[in-house]
Amino acid sequence: MAKGFKITLAGESSVFWAEPGLTVLRASLRGGGGLLSSCRNGTCRACQCRLLEGEIAYVIDWPGLSAEEKAEGWFLPCVAQARSDLVLLRPTEA
């Protein structure tokens, strides 16, 4: 399978790869990024991270974030797929 896009956690040594078709959360769980999660369907916000670099696309129509949060770079990795290499901040560091 293709390696996909490189995902880096800013300020950490953790790097993992998002294979095609995987959400960023599933890629982190497979690749050792270890992002937090609970519902995994875009409602609880446990997985919320800040996107510093790169592009994502959502796999659902209405991820549970406000327009302001999206504008500030917040996104939900459990319902987002990478469309380029990404650099993320975990919530505690954002």
The DSSP output letter for 14 is -
Nearer Cβ to ligand FES (2/49): 49
DSSP string computed for 25-76: HHHHHHHT-----SSSSSSS-TT-EEEEES-EEESSS--S--HHHHHTTEE-
| CB contact at 8 A, 20 and 2 | yes
Q: How many residues bind ligand FES (CB under 6 A)?
A: 12
Nearer Cβ to ligand FES (54/91): 91
Least Å distance, CB 5 to ligand FES, is 19
The interface with ligand FES within residues 2-61 (CB under 6 A) comprises 37-40, 42-47
Among 18, 27, 49, 76, binds ligand FES (CB under 6 A): 76
Pairing of strands 74-75, 49-53: antiparallel
Residues that bind ligand FES (CB under 6 A): 37-40, 42-47, 76, 78
